[in-house]
Amino acid sequence: MASLIKFASDVATGRHALSKLIPVGLFLADAILCGLVIWKVPYTEIDWTAYMEQVTQFVNGERDYPKMEGGTGPLVYPAAHVYIYTGLYYLTNRGTDILLAQQLFAVLYMATLGVVMLSYWKARVPPYIFPLLILSKRLHSVFVLRCFNDCFAAFFLWLCIYSFQNRAWTFGALAYTLGLGVKMSLLLVLPAVVIILFLGRGFKGALRLVWLMAQVQLVLAIPFITTNWAGYLGRAFELSRQFKFEWTVNWRMMGEETFLSRGFSITLLTFHVVTLLVFIAARWLKLQERSLLGIITYAVRFQSPFTEQEEAKVSKKVVTPRYVLATILSANVIGLLFARSLHYQFYAYLAWATPFLLWTAYPNLLVVVPLWLAQEWAWNVFPSTPLSSSVVVSILAVTVAAAFVGSQASSPAYQPGTAKPKQL
């Protein structure tokens, strides 16, 4: 019996050769689950028709962004969204073949899940955490029942993470800017992306890649900015957008008057900035080679704070696969915690982040699973209630705290085949 328990523990924690079969088995099981969801659960129309109406105007020659709109309102997404859904428009017979659209989004879901699992494995997360990656009811709904554009943004975000983990800096930067070109929600992780490029690629290398990302955004937008550049920027990256209280998932317990108030918006923005600065100073840029003040002093003069030898040392020592995953996902959940309004499709950015961030601080299933279950329940309450919103915000706050505690570790806590078993 003791040997059987040890065998099970070794497999679950990654110490056995069979550990690699767990992600593979879960991946195949989720592929079957996606097929069953499409087969058995009715499709839910929310934004697909509006996307197709907006794309129809683009196909018919419209290039003035403020004039492009659908049944749910104006087009408020960047140019890559238009191009992707134009492709889907043609593939699905002008948006009428919903079943094919669902199948395409199931492929997208599986592709994203594959990259997520690779990123987790690269960061040496134990296999016993992996089942949480395939069990979300809301996440399957977002992808294969509603076909939201957040699904493409999430795919590019995880492709960026995995590329950075493998030190493919240019490919990762391109993946990120394409995701940002789908939806501006990815602006939440921009500080983390810039810091990772700075530490991993060096000061000059990071500047070149940031400029490359900006150029890609410019190229994507050319058809629209040459027609009405102010209209494009105002709609595609509308930072002052006023969200409707009826759709909020996170702050319903505050009441509509508070939710819509300018003071509440400023308070959230202030806490967002302060929390980011704390993470930057105490976690992401806490280096032995240079102090944060020293880094800032050089950066404002557009000079590298490191010698070439120091840049190579920092890149190798600091920018590990776990650091990349923790930094980007931390920036993501900080932004979600202090967002004015989260809609159900935003779960595409959260569902696969929570298990890792909770595990980094609390490597125990008796802690991680109940918190994950509470989050999953809250995001499946429709319409949201004061109670469900309170749970959403509370779990986000716990996850941010876990990210801060967990990111203190300077090296990965798990290494397949060699590390001590983590707690189950």
Q: pLDDT tens digit string along 267-287?
A: 999 999 999 999 999 999 988
Residue 410 has pLDDT above 50, yes or no: no
Q: pLDDT tens digit string along 34-65?
A: 999 999 999 999 999 999 999 999 999 999 99
Q: Which two tokens stand for residue 383?
A: 């319409």
Look at residue 417 in the predicted model and tell me its pLDDT: 37
Residue 120 has pLDDT above 80, yes or no: yes
Residue 252 pLDDT level (bands cut at 50, 70, 90): very high
Mean pLDDT of 20-30: 95
Look at residue 422 in the predicted model and tell me its pLDDT: 47
For every residue of 173-220, DSSP letters joined together read HHHHHHHHHH-GGGGGGHHHHHHHHHHHH-HHHHHHHHHHHHHHHHHH
> Cβ distance 128 to 424 under 8 Å?
yes
Residue 82 has pLDDT above 80, yes or no: yes
Radius of gyration of the chain (CA): 22
Long-range contacts of 211-215 (CB under 8 A, 24+ apart): 212/170, 212/173, 212/174, 212/177, 213/173, 213/174, 213/176, 213/177, 213/180, 214/177
> Cβ distance 125 to 82 under 8 Å?
no
